[in-house]
Amino acid sequence: MDLTDVECDLQDIDGVTDVHDLHVWTLTSGMHVATAHLVTAAGAPTAQVLTEARAVLRDQHGIAHATLQVELHEGPDCHELGW
Q: Measuring CA to CA, which residue among 45, 41, 9 is closest to residue 24?
A: 9
Helix extents (H) in 1-83? 3-11, 46-61
At residue 73, does pLDDT exceed 60?
Answer: yes
At residue 82, does pLDDT exceed 70?
Answer: no
Q: Measuring CA to CA, which residue among 9, 10, 17 is closest to residue 44?
A: 17
In this prediction, residue 36 carries a pLDDT of 97
At residue 83, does pLDDT exceed 50?
Answer: no
At residue 17, does pLDDT exceed 90?
Answer: yes
In this prediction, residue 77 carries a pLDDT of 57
All structural domains of the chain: 3-73 (3.30.70.1350)
Question: Minimum mean pLDDT among 29-33, 39-43, 65-69, 78-82: which range?
Answer: 78-82
